[in-house]
Amino acid sequence: MKTLSLALVLSFSLLLTACGSAPMTDADMATKYGLSLEEYQEQKEAAARMNMTIEDHLNMGGDNSSMNHTMPDGKVMKNDEMDSHEKAASDMGMTLQEHIDAGHTGH
């Protein structure tokens, strides 16, 4: 019985080892989504600021120029306004949500 258990554990271990694959790097993910590495990292950071996965962020809409972003507080912001707020927030050392909550407008 002990030999059978050992054989079963070893077989299962080998099976799991054979099924494993290395995690995808940012470069791999950028290629997957058809973005440059820099574009992918920017999108990933923007998704993180909005508490979204990169997949959810990239699938928010088709044409990025007309895409709207829904903020964690429920406020909807146009893409060009979002870019302005993201840059201003970054320049101030704030998160995007902190920037909006502070009432900084007119960028």
Residue 75's nearest CA partner among 44, 93, 50 is: 50
Q: Is the pTM here over 0.75, yes or no?
A: no
The radius of gyration of the chain's CA atoms, rounded to the nearest angstrom, is 22
What does the pLDDT read at residue 63? 45
pLDDT > 70? residue 95: yes
Q: What is the structure's pLDDT at 79?
A: 65
Please compute the mean of the pLDDT values over residues 16-28 and round it to a whole number.
77
pLDDT per position as a tens digit, 32-88: 888 888 888 988 888 888 888 888 877 775 444 445 666 666 677 666 666 676 777
89 contacts 98 by C-beta, under 8 angstroms: yes
Amino acid at position 74, single letter:
G
CA nearest neighbour of 74 among 90, 51, 55: 51
The CA-atom distances, in angstroms, between 94 and each of 24, 46, 75, 81, 91 are 30, 13, 18, 17, 8
